[in-house]
Structure 1
Amino acid sequence: MSTIPLSAVLPAGFDPSQVKLHCAVYNGERHPIDVLSNDPEAWKGWNSWRGVKDDFNRQFVFSLAQDRHDPTLWLFGGIWEVTGRRHEPRALSYDIVLRDDLMGPFIQRLWVRLPLAGRNRRRNMESLLDQMTVSSIQEEAFVGDPFPGHDRINHALTEIQAVVAQQRPDWRIALEHMKGVYVIHDQETGEPYVGSAYGDTGIWQRWSYYAATLHGDNIGLKEHLETIGEVAYRERMRFALLEFWSMRTDDGHVLEREAYWKSVLLSRSLGHNKN
């Protein structure tokens, strides 16, 4: 099947020579697709930010957020009109207005395929338009990856933080009334930390605390955070469930299984567990 060029869905009379393409990528703290799907004001800020150069020096900004898993896939984040500019670098120096009349229904629904080369993420749109194709147009706006199933969780801390920030109902309902044993491991070193949720604290509440504190008040994780730094820690630490049960499960059983997994994964001697 032949691909559909992005130009086929652009508004009539759309002039790419008046448009800057903003291909937003991970900034070391947040993934743009999380910002677009969860925080409209922050997303506006991403598109009004001026670096050293006056990159958004045209009438419009065509915004895209890079997919977390596929660097050639981008989610459409709207067409913004630049109504004012200031010369201050590294600040929100552009006044912008979202033009809902220009492809508004496609926001968070249109996926664009663009294998972007080079480090420049703010380009003249006409220079890349012939490389941009329609990957898909979804019926519903993208609000984050759906809950994969208890036995298929393998997510970085940044992803857990995004899910918690959005209060994703599919994730929350699946986890908040479950006890369980989980592992948090550094994907570069393989060093594990085994923990558990028991008592009145379900997995959702426990992981929400990690999202807020990064370390969950665990001594070993605190030390690891200090060693590798926050940016690397958010990306490298991954969460998975080892076992999970209903809230009716006896706490003694949960703690017994936690000890078992600490022994199996050598998380005391080779990981971050201190007890």
Structure 2
Amino acid sequence: MTILLKDILNFETLLEKYKGKRIKLRFNTNWKYNDIVFDYADMCRMKEDYFIPMMLTAGSKSVSRNAVNDIQFQFIEVEKHRWLFVGAYDIKSRDSLTYHFSANYFKSYAEAVRIQEYDQYAERLIVDFKNRGQSFFYVNPEIINSVQVDSISTEPYFELDINFPGYENLCKSYYDLKQHWNNKLWVQALSEVYGVYLITDKKTGKLYVGSATGQDGIYGRWSAYLADGYDKNEKEDSKYPNTKLKELVSNKGIEYVQKNFQYTVLEIFKKDEIGKGKALKREIYWKEAFQSRKFGYNQN
């Protein structure tokens, strides 16, 4: 039985509600700027703050991809010819906003309001569609009305079958770790324990040993690492132990961390005062075992 997108998302009713608007399907394809690859699946999975601006970008200076009469249904490719629906937007102003990636590189994008009634399908509905030539957005009703639904899952696409592997098996690169970071099973498991962990610079072989004894356990400490490359609030013996990690990020940028760092759980402990004491003692042991003060990134 063929299930059409127009029927699942009730396009006919939508157009009656939004008089003077048209439906646009936008199939976002990955692209590259210099050495930076903009991968929409990665952006979505990692909840990057520029994900939505990138979907609403203007495109070329001569022809904008946006129009004020658009209701845009946004899709990203997760497998060949299989596109994940990630949200619907009512375009309010064509290209009035700007996202700055750096001082010299920015993108203009549309001001838009997300249509929340479609959020129940966001990151769950997949269509089977083959892009036609170089096109990646469509307003032709004949094309729009022919798009078929491949599947609708009960869980977000990037959380399907992603069980927590166990503390003893947790050894992930930066990007592998970040793609699971909003998974509720991972959040729960890493928040409920204190621990000692290892960071490995796979390019140089340098190591960093740390302990996590804060309110959110390992999850809290690693969240800071994923956000900034180092923890701005981490202290040891009232001193700042992340000096070398901070210098690394300052000199080479967080992109170096994203490309080269790997995170491993060494030991876990109960979240109480006894567990905290054990974690701090074992941190000292592992620093000595790995000689991470002499040859790695540990300062203390």
TM-score by length of 2: 0.61
The alignment status of 1:85 with 2:94, answered yes or no, reads yes
Query: Residues of 2 paired with 1:225 and 1:259: CA distance?
Result: 24
* Shift in CA distance, 240/55, structure 1 to aligned 2, threshold 3 Å: farther
Is 142-151 or 182-191 further displaced after alignment?
142-151
Is 211-220 or 57-66 further displaced after alignment?
57-66
* Shift in CA distance, 11/105, structure 1 to aligned 2, threshold 3 Å: farther
The alignment status of 1:123 with 2:136, answered yes or no, reads yes
The alignment status of 1:94 with 2:119, answered yes or no, reads no
State the match for 2:236 in structure 1.
none
State the match for 2:263 in structure 1.
239
Q: 1:179–1:244: 8 Å Cα contact kept in structure 2?
A: yes
Query: Residues of 1 paired with 2:25 and 2:81: CA distance?
Result: 21
Secondary structure in structure 1 of the residue aligned to 2:56: coil
Secondary structure in structure 2 of the residue aligned to 1:31: helix
Which amino acid letter does the alignment assign opposite residue 89 of structure 2? W
The structure with the larger Rg is 2
- How much identity, in percent, do the aligned residues show? 25
Trace 1:107-146 onto structure 2 (pairs within 5 A): 107-111=122-126, 123-125=136-138, 136-141=151-156, 144=159
TM-score by length of 1: 0.65
Query: Residues of 1 paired with 2:127 and 2:202: CA distance?
Result: 29
**C-alpha offsets along residues 201-236 of structure 1, whole Å, 9 cap, x if unaligned?**
732333344355531250121122123212332343
Query: Residues of 1 paired with 2:195 and 2:289: CA distance?
Result: 16
State the match for 1:153 in structure 2.
170
Trace 1:157-236 onto structure 2 (pairs within 5 A): 157=174, 169-198=184-213, 202-211=217-226, 213-217=228-232, 218-236=242-260
* Shift in CA distance, 138/154, structure 1 to aligned 2, threshold 3 Å: farther
State the match for 1:48 in structure 2.
56
Query: Residues of 1 paired with 2:52 and 2:97: CA distance?
Result: 18
Please give the root-mean-square deviation of Cα atoms over the aligned residues, in Å. Answer: 4.6
Which amino acid letter does the alignment assign opposite residue 154 of structure 1? C
Q: 2:97–2:110: 8 Å Cα contact kept in structure 1?
A: no
* Shift in CA distance, 85/154, structure 1 to aligned 2, threshold 3 Å: same
**C-alpha offsets along residues 214-261 of structure 1, whole Å, 9 cap, x if unaligned?**
312501211221232123323432322111121344555434432333
Structure 2: which 5+ residue stretches go unaligned? 12-22, 32-36, 99-105, 233-241
Q: 1:22–1:61: 8 Å Cα contact kept in structure 2?
A: no
State the match for 1:11 in structure 2.
6
Secondary structure in structure 2 of the residue aligned to 1:20: strand
- Equivalences, count: 253
The alignment status of 1:31 with 2:46, answered yes or no, reads no
